[in-house]
Amino acid sequence: MRPFVRRIVIWGVLAAAVGAGIVYSFRPRPVAVDVATVARGMLRVTIDDDGETRVRHVYTLQAPLTGDLDRITADPGDPVTAGRTVLARIVPAPPSMLDTRTMAEREAAVGAALAAKAQAAAERDRAETTLVFARTERDRARRLLPRRAISQREADDAERAFRAAEAGLAAARAALELRDQELAAARARLLPRDAARRAAPAGEVVRVTAPVSGVVLRVIRRSAGIVAAGAALLDIGDPHQLEIVIDPLSEDAVRMRQGEAAIVTGWGGSDLHAVIRRIDPVGRMKVSALGIEEQRVDVVLDLTDPPARWQALGDGYRVDVHVITFQGDVLRVPLGALVRMGDGWAVYVDDRGVARRRAVTVGARGGLEAEIRAGLAPGQRVVLYPGERIRDGTRIAIRPAGAEDGS
């Protein structure tokens, strides 16, 4: 080959190599992605919330009357028997101390009662005198009437006057008894505290017994002292009758149904099962830790496992509750593979190294996975967390497990 031709061939090969390198360098490189394989499996959709255990029926023992309460010695957890276990003792309260003004008022009341008694005694004496005179007049009329010395009317008037005098004496005696009682009451209000306590009947005490059988849950008032009627003393209940209360957001509560199953976790033991017994029809406003006003609804659940499995739980214990709103064997993909496409959903499928967008119909969605009802088949691979670089037709390269994207 001539030197001139050889040079042309060499430079032509070099130019082609340089051109191929330039074209290759500007060619879009495949985007490294993570993928997941579409497969059938069990999907469980839950509404998760913090819950609290509580005894289903709590009875608050109250003081039946105002008095002096002895110190309550019962402790939380002590067993009680209905009608037999004495939980509190109340004795009559000592009278209050008298200040100078009150003492003067009550002394004046005693004086007034003495004067009223003296007046009533005088009225009684006058009634007795009137009765003696009326009896004499009646007896005289009875002797004169047969002789016709007086008329029948005069005899009847004498009899009537005697009856009226008898009634007047009875009323005067009753009024005197009333004044005696008023005087005694006024003097009793004037008694010193020590004298009043000594005058109280010995052993007078009211024993407050347990209304139901169970255990003491809480001692509200332990110290001795004066209590008012209706004051709360203790809470009693049966710890073997527990229920769980959660307060989900109102938009979550409307997705729940009475009788739905739930899983109870986070209490220190194995998972427990429960069912929804009641969803309150009234919501309430609650301010979150971030200061956001939220509408919450109380939902009550019953444990369905035997009490032996959860006997370590007590009233007011914290638990995690997962209410199951959907559960089934479905075709599922990770939520990270879903992207919005108009009003629906789509995924990017790995088609031999090229991302192809596929519209899909999404069913139930859980915390990590979603049900695919149409648009995919088992075994297909979908791109996880597709970013702005992924489009329909983008070349992709599957990132090795554990590798990080350095692009």
Question: pLDDT of 249-306, one tens digit each?
Answer: 999 999 999 999 999 999 999 999 999 999 999 999 998 888 889 999 999 999 999 9
| Beta-carbon count within 10 A of 354 CB | 14
Q: What is the mean pLDDT of residues 171-195?
A: 84
Q: Is the pLDDT of residue 23 over 60?
A: no
Read off the pLDDT band of 186 (50, 70, 90).
confident
* Separation between Cα atoms, residue 116 and residue 119, nearest integer Å: 5
Q: What is the mean pLDDT of residues 30-38?
A: 89
Place of tokens 């229920």: 243
* Separation between Cα atoms, residue 176 and residue 158, nearest integer Å: 27
Contact 325, 47 (CB under 8 A): yes
Q: What is the mean pLDDT of residues 364-379?
A: 91
The mean predicted confidence, pLDDT, of the chain is 87
Read off the pLDDT band of 407 (50, 70, 90).
very low
Tell me, yes or no, if the pTM score tops 0.75. Answer: no
Read off the pLDDT band of 233 (50, 70, 90).
very high
Read off the pLDDT band of 101 (50, 70, 90).
confident
- Of 10-14, 50-54, 58-62, 165-169, where does mean pLDDT reach its minimum? 10-14
**Distances in whole angstroms, Cα of residue 288 to Cα of each of 180, 292, 323:** 68, 5, 21
**Distances in whole angstroms, Cα of residue 275 to Cα of each of 68, 320, 327:** 46, 14, 15
